[in-house]
Chain A
Amino acid sequence: MIPGLGALTQDTLWCFSQLKGTVEIGATEADIISTVEFNHTGELLATGDKGGRVVIFQREQESKNQVHRRGEYNVYSTFQSHEPEFDYLKSLEIEEKINKIRWLPQQNAAYFLLSTNDKTVKLWKVSERDKRPEGYNLKDEEGRLRDPATITTLRVPVLRPMDLMVEATPRRVFANAHTYHINSISVNSDYETYMSADDLRINLWNFEITNQSFNIVDIKPANMEELTEVITAAEFHPHHCNTFVYSSSKGTIRLCDMRAPALCDRHTKFFEEPEDPSNRSFFSEIISSISDVKFSHSGRYIMTRDYLTVKVWDLNMENRPIETYQVHDYLRSKLCSLYENDCIFDKFECVWNGSDSVIMTGSYNNFFRMFDRNTKRDVTLEASRENSKPRAILKPRKVCVGGKRRKDEISVDSLDFSKKILHTAWHPSENIIAVAATNNLYIFQDKVN
């Protein structure tokens, strides 16, 4: 198994590595993880939760003594990013839940990330301090001012080592630009701008300027009664700083080029799979709504997630996806109850591995699925406490659809729909994945021989 190539071959075995968080009894709603993201080197792993908090884990340096264990992730920094607010003018309650975190590429010793709730994006700087000045003339060791009359000699303050302190400070607050709820943020490859998307509009920001943003997409109809679709996700192309995509609740994707008009309401490309009209039902539009869109690392493909499938599209082919993977097709016969308990509106995310050869997405019952695009093999794994022994190999799981249920299979009716894996992340170059299961964060790695 060559490190860095995330191929899902017969030899790939996933093992439990770490589990963060408490047992369910002590969990509150604030603890529900709402976003997970590795930084560009994979050294840092950030999580955001419903309580508006961010926790950043850092991978420890690999030691020569522990060759069987790749570096583990330990808490590096944690801070309150957003707080609940009430907009009195609009009678609108603004949740502190962190919808998305996106890292900026590292340019100096400090780390920068963007975190957003429904209305406000913030740029956070996370930096280390391991020295502090000592030997002030005008202050004593406790920081109290000294009476200048008592000072008889002068000394030069020196920097002395101190215990490592990691500080997180909000460097920019980008507020008041979104009437509707922000669902996505994406850092541009120029590292100078980023975009934020809400249900009806997408804005372009410069990192240095907080009191202005450019509106680049506006799909709000003049008459709200004519509203038929909303923006569900948006992302910049990984290399072309003028290109971005956004997905809609109708299952379509639009690619826009900012070099053309200033307002990108007219798309450059429009991706839609034709629907067989005889298949149409009450649920068709709801389950076709795209909950996540992600460019491949290469920039040649986009992946979309709707309620039942993951699709891969070639940027050069707009009329249909090149690959479609069934995540949990057995849910088709459960749509009525999934509509009643609102699960049909769950927004699952999807991720690429570092080499774009394997894609991963979550499901219910704390199951998550991986699809190898080359071998066409797929696997269902489970994030559960029972399989949480160090280096325990995860056993593939199987859902029984009908007929006789085998011993280790689970029937559709036994699935726990409250245990949903909406957020996952894949290390940029290694086979390390982070899976958020409600209030717990699981880290899995492939087996090291």
Chain B
Amino acid sequence: VGGLGDVCYWLAGDTQEKEGILPERAEEAKLKAKYPSLGQKPGGSDFLMKRLQKGQKYFDSGDYNMAKAKMKNKQLPSAGPDKNLVTGDHIPTPQDLPQRKSSLVTSKLAGGQVE
């Protein structure tokens, strides 16, 4: 019934403001359809915690070596996509951590102008 009400709202050619609600709600519905497990609290703490955790790289050598011993010849599960906050079952390996090296090269902005 609610959906029907929304359609009628739109067809009635309501004010500019009311028409503006529809795009965001439609987008929200699209998102929830793709990710049903998306948190109940709208755009809240999950993002904030992710923001605060930026740069965190975990590696536990004890876990790593024990897992290696247990798995023997099998492949270790490697890190999932970077979006995961919690490591859970997977064990980060040294290979997962990207190499950091400082840029000792002069900035290209300083290397003469293109005009």
Complex contacts, B26 vs chain A, CB 8 Å:
333
**Known contacts being A55-B107, A95-B55, A334-B27, is A18 close to B43, with CB within 8 Å?**
no
Could you tell me if A53 and B44 are in contact, using CB atoms closer than 8 angstroms? no
Q: Does A388 contact B (CB under 8 A)?
A: yes
Could you tell me if B55 and A75 are in contact, using CB atoms closer than 8 angstroms? no
Closest Cβ of chain A to B40, distance in Å, is 10
How many Å lie between the Cα of A6 and that of B56 in the bound state?
A: 45
Closest Cβ of chain A to B45, distance in Å, is 6
How many Å lie between the Cα of A91 and that of B104 in the bound state?
A: 24
Could you tell me if B113 and A18 are in contact, using CB atoms closer than 8 angstroms? yes
How many Å lie between the Cα of A334 and that of B30 in the bound state?
A: 10
Could you tell me if A22 and B114 are in contact, using CB atoms closer than 8 angstroms? yes
Could you tell me if B48 and A230 are in contact, using CB atoms closer than 8 angstroms? yes
Complex contacts, A83 vs chain B, CB 8 Å:
102
Interface residues of A in 276-312 (CB under 8 A from B): 276, 278-286
**Known contacts being A80-B102, A84-B100, A332-B20, is A441 close to B52, with CB within 8 Å?**
no
How many Å lie between the Cα of A340 and that of B31 in the bound state?
A: 9
- Interface-central residue, A30, A53, A345, A390, by most chain B CB under 10 Å: A53
Q: Does B10 contact A (CB under 8 A)?
A: no
How many Å lie between the Cα of A286 and that of B106 in the bound state?
A: 37
**Known contacts being A227-B45, A339-B31, is A181 close to B107, with CB within 8 Å?**
no
Interface residues of A in 186-229 (CB under 8 A from B): 199-200, 224-225, 227-229
Complex contacts, A94 vs chain B, CB 8 Å:
55
Could you tell me if A283 and B43 are in contact, using CB atoms closer than 8 angstroms? yes
**Known contacts being A20-B114, A227-B49, is A282 close to B28, with CB within 8 Å?**
yes
Q: Using C-beta atoms within 8 Å of the partner chain, give the interface range for chain A.
A: 35 or more
Of B25, B30, B42, B110, the contact of A75 (CB 8 Å cutoff): B110
Could you tell me if B27 and A21 are in contact, using CB atoms closer than 8 angstroms? no
Complex contacts, B112 vs chain A, CB 8 Å:
75
Could you tell me if B107 and A91 are in contact, using CB atoms closer than 8 angstroms? no
Could you tell me if B58 and A78 are in contact, using CB atoms closer than 8 angstroms? no
Of A91, A96, A332, A441, the contact of B57 (CB 8 Å cutoff): A91
Complex contacts, A281 vs chain B, CB 8 Å:
21, 24-25, 27-28, 42
Q: Which residue of chain B is the closest to A283 with respect to CB atoms?
A: B24
1/0 per residue A17-55: CB within 8 Å of B?
011111100111011010000000000000101011101
**Known contacts being A84-B102, A281-B42, is A27 close to B108, with CB within 8 Å?**
yes
Could you tell me if A286 and B20 are in contact, using CB atoms closer than 8 angstroms? no
Could you tell me if A52 and B102 are in contact, using CB atoms closer than 8 angstroms? yes
How many Å lie between the Cα of A439 and that of B25 in the bound state?
A: 36
Of A86, A90, A336, the contact of B27 (CB 8 Å cutoff): A336
Could you tell me if A280 and B114 are in contact, using CB atoms closer than 8 angstroms? no
Of B24, B34, B45, the contact of A332 (CB 8 Å cutoff): B24
**Known contacts being A47-B109, A334-B27, is A286 close to B43, with CB within 8 Å?**
yes
Closest Cβ of chain B to A249, distance in Å, is 7
**Known contacts being A95-B55, A279-B21, is A441 close to B27, with CB within 8 Å?**
no
Could you tell me if A282 and B42 are in contact, using CB atoms closer than 8 angstroms? yes
How many Å lie between the Cα of A52 and that of B20 in the bound state?
A: 42
- Interface-central residue, B34, B38, B108, by most chain A CB under 10 Å: B108
How many Å lie between the Cα of A169 and that of B21 in the bound state?
A: 54
Pick the 9 closest A-B CB pairs, nearest first: A51-B103, A78-B110, A333-B23, A335-B27, A286-B43, A336-B27, A332-B23, A336-B30, A281-B24
Would you give 29 A-B contacts (Cβ < 8 Å), ordered by A? A19-B115, A20-B113, A23-B114, A27-B108, A30-B103, A33-B109, A51-B105, A55-B107, A75-B110, A78-B106, A84-B101, A86-B100, A91-B57, A91-B59, A93-B56, A225-B45, A230-B48, A276-B17, A281-B21, A281-B27, A282-B38, A282-B43, A284-B24, A333-B23, A334-B27, A335-B23, A335-B28, A388-B115, A390-B115
Beyond contacts A23-B114, A282-B32, A340-B34: 10 other A-B pairs, Cβ-Cβ < 8 A, are A27-B108, A84-B101, A92-B57, A180-B52, A181-B52, A278-B21, A281-B27, A282-B43, A332-B23, A335-B31
